[in-house]
């Protein structure tokens, strides 16, 4: 189940990223000023979210396994 949620998240992220890049290119073609990148890059944000999700899942799984062996 978790792998499907991850896949959906990655597909949504890629769709958002492609839409954003397309919008920036259209602004560039029209000669408008393209906003400069500030803060975290989108791929950094995605990687942080994935690490937190997988780390949380791993901790939940390990704690659950430890509790099952104790009882």
Cα 29 versus chain centre, distance: 29
pLDDT tens profile 10-50: 888 889 889 988 998 998 899 888 778 777 788 888 888 88
Question: How far is the C-alpha of 54 from the C-alpha of 38, rounded, in Å?
Answer: 27
User: Which pLDDT belongs to residue 54?
Assistant: 87
The DSSP H or E segment spanning 50 is: helix 42-70
- Using the predicted structure, report yes or no on whether residue 62 has a pLDDT greater than 90: yes
How many Cβ atoms from other residues are within 10 Å of residue 4's Cβ? 8
Assign 3-class secondary structure to 1-17.
CHHHHHHHHHHHHHHHH
pTM of this structure:
0.59
Question: How far is the C-alpha of 67 from the C-alpha of 71, rounded, in Å?
Answer: 6
- DSSP letter assigned to residue 36: P
């Amino acid at each position: 189940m978790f792998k499907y949620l991850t896949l959906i998240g990655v597909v949504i992220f890629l769709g958002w990223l492609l839409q954003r890049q397309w919008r920036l290119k259209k602004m560039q073609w029209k000669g408008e000023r393209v906003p400069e990148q500030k803060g975290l890059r989108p791929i950094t944000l995605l990687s942080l979210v994935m690490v937190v999700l997988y780390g949380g899942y791993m901790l939940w799984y390990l704690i659950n396994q430890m509790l099952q062996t104790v009882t």
